Amino acid sequence: MVRLGLVVAQFDKVGTVIDAMTEHAHEAADERGAELVATVEVPGTYDTPLAADRLARRDDVDAVAVIGAIVTGDTDHDQVIADAAAQGLTDVSLERDTPVTFGVIGPDMSAAEARERVEYGALAVESASQHASNGSNRARQSR
pLDDT digits (tens, 9 = 90+) for 103-118: 999 999 988 899 999 9
Residue 9, helix vs strand vs coil? strand
CA distance 63 to 38: 11
- Is 131 a known active-site residue? no
Residue 142 has pLDDT above 50, yes or no: no
Domains identified in the chain and CATH numbers: 3-134 (3.40.50.960)
The conformation of residue 130, written as its DSSP 8-state character, comes to H
Cα separation, 2 vs 84, whole angstroms: 28
Per the CB < 8 A criterion, the answer to whether 82 and 107 are in contact is yes
Closest to 43 in 3D by CA, of 79, 75, 76, 85: 85
pLDDT of 121 strictly over 60: yes
Catalytic residue among 24, 26, 77, 131: 77
Report the Cα 125 to chain-centroid distance in Å. Answer: 8
The three state secondary structure string of 102-115 is EEEECCCCCHHHHH
The pLDDT, as a whole number, for residue 39 is: 98
In degrees rounded to 5, what are phi and psi of residue 108? 55, 50
pLDDT at 13 over 90: no
Which pLDDT score, from 0 to 100, does residue 111 have?
85
In this structure, the number of other CB atoms found within 10 A of the CB of residue 30 comes to: 12
Least confident of 18-27, 86-95, 119-128, 131-140: 131-140
Q: What is the pLDDT of residue 138?
A: 44
- Whether this prediction's pTM lies above 0.95 is answered by no
DSSP per position, 22-89: HHHHHHHHHHHT-EEEEEEEESSGGGHHHHHHHHHT-TT-SEEEEEEE----SSTHHHHHHHHHHHHH
SS3 1: coil
